[in-house]
């Protein structure tokens, strides 16, 4: 097989890389596809600059990595392309929001509340404000590795429950518009359990897999101990030394690995438009090796 000439430039010592000189509207040869996949595993968050992708091209590129997932908030999916979730502060002419206005303003790993959570998400910036609205990322390998040996031992075999409803109960949100769910949407959202420390299926490395957005409880421990330990872990994964800040440029496509990162949206001046499309690639059921 031909070697790829693609170059991924690291953006920080913690994670993140920028990939220039690729046009994702064009068909990808398998060497370039492999190089992109490897860059994701090596850098956790990869940024493709200046991608003028249609929704169909965004979907086609994303599909190379696996089946795509459809978000429970069907009102924010593109009508002809349900694999695309819209994040936007635009309104339809009747005043209804076009997309999620305030998605993810708390630390989370996308859809950790399903049995087979996504391996990654691809977010395309179509229109962005002149400043702010950055996205923060946390390296969950580093967060795990930095724990004391004693804490790592306490986490062996431990499971945690994840629930989407938690983020709607005001537990994780503060001070901004609260979205709603229909009874039908709620019915689709059962709580699930995942190991607290998961083994990345491709790299074999251990990563913490708890997040303030959706992790509601640690299982099989006395209640007080569970709450105290979860608090300690959520504190661990919020530390700045594990973080990377992505400052958006128009037409960035950012691909992050949900198995070993969390992310956090930040506010911006809503007199400006922020309009983005997300696809979500299905992953495996998390396991602890």
Q: Which residues does the annotation mark as catalytic?
A: 108, 110, 263, 278
- Residues 128-167, interacting with ligand OGA (CB under 6 A): 135
Give the closest residue to 80 by CA, choosing from 110, 55, 108. 55
Phi/psi for 263 (5° steps) reads: -145, 170
Q: Does 215 bind ligand OGA (CB under 6 A)?
A: no
Given 18, 83, 101, 110, the residue binding Mn ion (CB under 5 A): 110
Handedness of CA 84, 31, 260, 263 (dihedral sign): negative
If the CB atoms of residues 144 and 248 are measured against ligand OGA, the closer one turns out to be 248
If the CB atoms of residues 105 and 218 are measured against ligand OGA, the closer one turns out to be 105
The CB-nearest residue to Mn ion is 104
Q: Does 103 bind ligand OGA (CB under 6 A)?
A: yes
Q: Residue 274 CB, nearest distance to ligand OGA (Å)?
A: 7
If the CB atoms of residues 135 and 167 are measured against ligand OGA, the closer one turns out to be 135
- Residues 248-287, interacting with ligand OGA (CB under 6 A): 263, 265, 276, 278
What DSSP state is assigned to residue 68? B
Q: Does 252 bind Mn ion (CB under 5 A)?
A: no
Q: Does 123 bind ligand OGA (CB under 6 A)?
A: yes
**In angstroms, what CA-CA distances link 149 with 95, 138, 144, 216, 258?**
54, 21, 10, 24, 25
In this structure, are strands 243-246 and 192-195 parallel, antiparallel, or unpaired? unpaired
Alpha helices in 44-115 (DSSP H): 55-63
Give the closest residue to 144 by CA, choosing from 196, 207, 83. 207
When CB distances are held under 5 to 8 angstroms depending on the partner's kind, the choice from Mn ion, ligand OGA, none that residue 278 binds is: ligand OGA
Q: Does 257 bind Mn ion (CB under 5 A)?
A: no
Contact indicator for 239, 106 with CB cutoff of 8 Å: no
**In angstroms, what CA-CA distances link 98 with 88, 151, 168, 178?**
6, 44, 19, 16
Which x/- pattern, by CB under 5 A, does the window 166-205 give for Mn ion?
Answer: ----------------------------------------
Residues making contact with Mn ion (CB under 5 A): 104, 110
């Amino acid at each position: 097989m031909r070697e790829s000439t693609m170059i991924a430039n690291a953006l920080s010592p913690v994670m993140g890389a920028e990939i220039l000189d690729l046009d994702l509207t064009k068909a990808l040869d398998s060497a370039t596809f492999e190089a992109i996949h490897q860059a994701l595993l090596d850098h956790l968050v990869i940024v493709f600059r200046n991608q003028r992708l249609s929704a169909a091209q965004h979907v086609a590129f994303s599909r190379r990595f696996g089946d795509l997932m459809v978000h429970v908030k069907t009102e924010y999916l593109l009508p002809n392309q349900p694999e695309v979730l819209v994040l936007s502060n635009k309104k339809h002419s009747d005043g209804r929001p076009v997309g999620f206005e305030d998605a993810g303003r708390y630390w989370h790993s996308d859809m950790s509340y399903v049995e087979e959570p996504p391996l990654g998400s691809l977010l395309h910036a179509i229109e962005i404000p002149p400043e702010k609205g950055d996205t923060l990322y946390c390296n969950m390998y580093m967060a795990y590795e930095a724990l004391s040996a004693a804490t790592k031992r306490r986490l062996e075999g431990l499971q945690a429950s994840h629930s989407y409803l938690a983020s709607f109960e005001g537990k994780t949100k503060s001070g901004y518009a609260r979205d709603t769910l229909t009874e039908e949407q709620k019915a689709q959202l059962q709580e699930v359990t995942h190991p607290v420390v998961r083994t990345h299926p491709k790299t074999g490395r251990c990563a913490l897999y708890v997040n303030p957005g959706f992790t509601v409880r640690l299982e099989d421990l006395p209640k007080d101990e569970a709450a105290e330990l979860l608090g300690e872990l959520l504190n661990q994964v919020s530390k700045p030394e594990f973080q990377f800040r992505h400052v958006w440029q128009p037409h960035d496509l950012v691909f992050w690995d949900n198995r070993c990162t969390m992310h956090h949206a930040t506010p911006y001046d809503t007199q400006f438009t922020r309009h983005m499309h997300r696809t979500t690639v299905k992953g495996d059921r998390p396991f602890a090796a």
